[in-house]
Amino acid sequence: MDHPFGIDFGGTGIKGAPVDLAAGEFAQERVRIPTPRPATPAAVAAVFAELVASFPASTAPVGVTVPGVVRHGVVHSAANIDPAWIGTDADALFTEATGRDVHVVNDADAAGLAEVRYGAARGRRGLVIVTTLGTGIGSAFVHDGVLVPSSELGHLEIDGHEAEHRAANSAREREGLTMPQWAERLQVFYRHVERLFSPDLFVVGGGISKQSEEFLPLLDLETEIVPAALRNKAGVVGAALYASEGVAEG
């Protein structure tokens, strides 16, 4: 069976694998290539071509995550990536570079799709807000299983600060915050978001989510909040899912 291919474009590594969508698992072992520096669109496209060429038998669609706003395949923001991405038609660039049908999706939106289909929010109805705590704060709104893309909650301004500058995992590391100190900032962020959107569930992803028992119990929210289940597979699995079924036309 020809499985869709997912690629997760991260700050240090670009990871790809064919994904078995029935199981929500990699169909073959994933390949990882270090992210080129600078990570310009052309340099990254060359890595994608190499990744896809590692699985020559396949012609299935390819999904790719990008840590920025993506509308109809075009990247519109670059908070934590090379500014050359802004205005890049990434669908067209990667389709040309790989010779495959490529669909680009925001990284947090991909994680959101994967968590709702296979992970911590599986089978949950209503509004699920998936957040990723990493270099920035990513967010995905999934309502009754349907993604509403580009929510970008990391850029909410709260108390005069951009939320991700205060509460991303990079802020914890940069400022040497203890978990209780960081949790105070997360409390402000999640409380603000729940007041605005009244979600049914928060899912917390990003690498730090594997230490969730050190900070999630410190939060006092009305909304249930749980750690992500797919961990570092969410980007690849969500990207493949998006390429296969979540693509909005246009």
Query: Is the bond preceding 38 in cis, omega lying within 30 degrees of 0?
Result: yes
What is the per-residue binding string for ligand BGC in 159-198, x denoting contact by CB under 6 A?
-----x----------------------------------
Binding status of residue 112 toward ligand BGC by CB under 6 A: no
Q: Out of 77, 88, 169, 170, name the contact with ligand BGC by CB under 6 A.
A: 77
CB of 75 to ligand BGC, least distance (A): 9
Q: Are the CB atoms for 117 and 19 separated by under 8 Å?
A: no
Q: Regarding beta strands 62-66 and 102-106, do their DSSP bridges make them parallel or antiparallel, or are they unpaired?
A: parallel
Q: Are the CB atoms for 13 and 32 separated by under 8 Å?
A: yes
Q: Which two tokens stand for residue 235?
A: 């980007």
Q: Are the CB atoms for 25 and 17 separated by under 8 Å?
A: no
Q: Out of 35, 95, 98, 106, name the contact with ligand BGC by CB under 6 A.
A: 106
User: For residues 75 and 234, what is the distance between their CA atoms, to the nearest angstrom?
Assistant: 21
Q: Which residues from 143-162 bind ligand BGC, rule CB under 6 A?
A: 152, 154
Return the number of the residue (4 or 136) whose C-beta is nearest ligand BGC.
Answer: 136
Q: Which residues from 44-73 bind ligand BGC, rule CB under 6 A?
A: 67-69
| Distance set, CA 47 to CA 205, 221, 227 (Å) | 25, 42, 31
Stretch that binds ligand BGC, among 90-98, 130-138, 213-221, 227-235 (CB under 6 A): 130-138
CB of 39 to ligand BGC, least distance (A): 13
